A = this chain, B = another copy of it.
């Protein structure tokens, strides 16, 4: 049993997970289910949008030249030709000195090139008095002005928001080609673990990590698949890892944080695949494993929930970004330290902190305490080259 691990830097660990992350596949989803999905290809307008010149106001379609110089005291007088209904092609065109009423969104009749708002006109039986001039094209969306046929509308890799769903509707995309959601297996290991609905016997604890990891995966654009709790028995871990790596796009192992167990996980990954990293210059989270079985990345998290959560943020987030095509930028605020944060050079420290007003206080609680996950508001990163931060310094807080 080795007492010490050969550690790599956090940068190297992140580069490793990015390198082994399988790129996302492609799936078809109905437009109504496309929120927060990522476009798998560029989308273009199938037709000119709109397919006809359209009024943007309720008013009178006119030939703009007929309104030149019109004012309230000297209105232009036009002959009223009729009313155009919504969604219906006009049955007539207009000539000079003629006009037609149409609603917002209505089709301009032939011969017209602008619309006078109803507020700036007065109808007197068969005559309409136009009280303001309009320029050609005024209050009109011309054919293809919104999206001309064939024009690129949204690029590959775009994350779909509600307004994008409206735009996809406009260009006729009822079924959207998006990146598929990666499926991530979760295996909890540890002789001491019992399910959430059990009352632990002496020495046992409930499996905290599977629920936390599953939530993290769902929150980062992927689908968790649970493989339950395994005892620290190599052949059982091996069998389940073989199955999970056959069914999933990546697998996260977690549980029991004893050195023995870490050896079991690394040993099993090494037997059926390869261990790329075993140990990261990261506190907490040093005993993390990065490996793969075939082309399926396998991450071994430390068992302490608070440590596991830091590794999810630091290492699993970039893995899921690469696998989903999404990015999950950290929310960062600046605040003033109320206490020193000492650190060792050569290792990145992530210290859970509480924020209050503009002040930030480190929670130096034992990393085995689950309660620091809910008592903390975020974390402060101490870079590997730093020996820590001093009370009164302004630091960046990465919010949960």
Q: Chain A residues in contact with chain B, CB under 8 A?
A: 3, 31-32, 34-36, 46-47, 49-52, 54, 56, 58, 85-89, 103-107, 118-119, 141, 145-147, 153-154, 160-170, 172-174, 190-193, 195-216, 218-219, 224, 226, 232, 256-261, 303-305, 309, 312, 366-371, 373-374, 400
Distance, CA A78 to CA B205, complexed state (A) = 30
Pairwise interchain contact B208-A89, C-beta atoms closer than 8 A: no
Distance, CA A369 to CA B145, complexed state (A) = 8
A–B Cβ pairs within 8 angstroms, 11 of them: A52-B203, A56-B367, A86-B190, A86-B232, A89-B201, A103-B258, A162-B213, A163-B215, A167-B370, A170-B206, A174-B197
State the Cβ distance, A45 to closest chain B Cβ, in Å: 10
With a cutoff of 8 Å between Cβ atoms, the chain B residues found around residue A87 in the complex are: 190-193, 203-204
With a cutoff of 8 Å between Cβ atoms, the chain B residues found around residue A232 in the complex are: 86
Pairwise interchain contact A169-B211, C-beta atoms closer than 8 A: yes
With a cutoff of 8 Å between Cβ atoms, the chain B residues found around residue A88 in the complex are: 191, 203
With a cutoff of 8 Å between Cβ atoms, the chain B residues found around residue A174 in the complex are: 195-197
Pairwise interchain contact A86-B166, C-beta atoms closer than 8 A: no
With a cutoff of 8 Å between Cβ atoms, the chain B residues found around residue A208 in the complex are: 166-167, 169-170
With a cutoff of 8 Å between Cβ atoms, the chain B residues found around residue A204 in the complex are: 51, 87
Contact among B50, B51, B166, B211 for A32, CB-based, below 8 A: B211
Pairwise interchain contact A104-B211, C-beta atoms closer than 8 A: no
Contact among B163, B191, B224, B368 for A86, CB-based, below 8 A: B191
How many monomers of this protein are in the complex? 2
Distance, CA A85 to CA B190, complexed state (A) = 11
Interface centre among A203, A213, A256 (most CB of B within 10 A): A203
State the Cβ distance, A225 to closest chain B Cβ, in Å: 11
Q: With A256-B86, A258-B58 in contact, is A200–B163 under 8 Å at CB?
A: no
Interface centre among A202, A218, A224, A370 (most CB of B within 10 A): A370
Contact among B118, B147, B162, B199 for A370, CB-based, below 8 A: B147
With a cutoff of 8 Å between Cβ atoms, the chain B residues found around residue A85 in the complex are: 191
Distance, CA A199 to CA B201, complexed state (A) = 66
Pairwise interchain contact B105-A166, C-beta atoms closer than 8 A: no
The 5 lowest CB-CB distance pairs between A and B, nearest first, are: A166-B212, A87-B192, A162-B215, A103-B258, A87-B191
With a cutoff of 8 Å between Cβ atoms, the chain B residues found around residue A51 in the complex are: 200, 202, 204
Distance, CA A1 to CA B260, complexed state (A) = 82
Pairwise interchain contact B47-A199, C-beta atoms closer than 8 A: yes
State the Cβ distance, A212 to closest chain B Cβ, in Å: 3
* Extra contacts besides A86-B191, A141-B369, A145-B369 (20): CB < 8 Å: A31-B196, A32-B214, A47-B200, A58-B259, A88-B191, A89-B202, A103-B257, A103-B261, A104-B256, A141-B368, A146-B369, A146-B370, A153-B371, A162-B218, A166-B215, A166-B370, A167-B208, A169-B206, A173-B196, A174-B195
With a cutoff of 8 Å between Cβ atoms, the chain B residues found around residue A309 in the complex are: 162-163, 166
With a cutoff of 8 Å between Cβ atoms, the chain B residues found around residue A170 in the complex are: 205-206, 208, 305, 370
With a cutoff of 8 Å between Cβ atoms, the chain B residues found around residue A160 in the complex are: 215
With a cutoff of 8 Å between Cβ atoms, the chain B residues found around residue A145 in the complex are: 369
Pairwise interchain contact A260-B105, C-beta atoms closer than 8 A: no
Pairwise interchain contact B162-A216, C-beta atoms closer than 8 A: yes
With a cutoff of 8 Å between Cβ atoms, the chain B residues found around residue A141 in the complex are: 366, 368-369
Distance, CA A257 to CA B56, complexed state (A) = 9
Pairwise interchain contact B258-A86, C-beta atoms closer than 8 A: yes
Pairwise interchain contact B207-A169, C-beta atoms closer than 8 A: yes
Distance, CA A200 to CA B50, complexed state (A) = 9
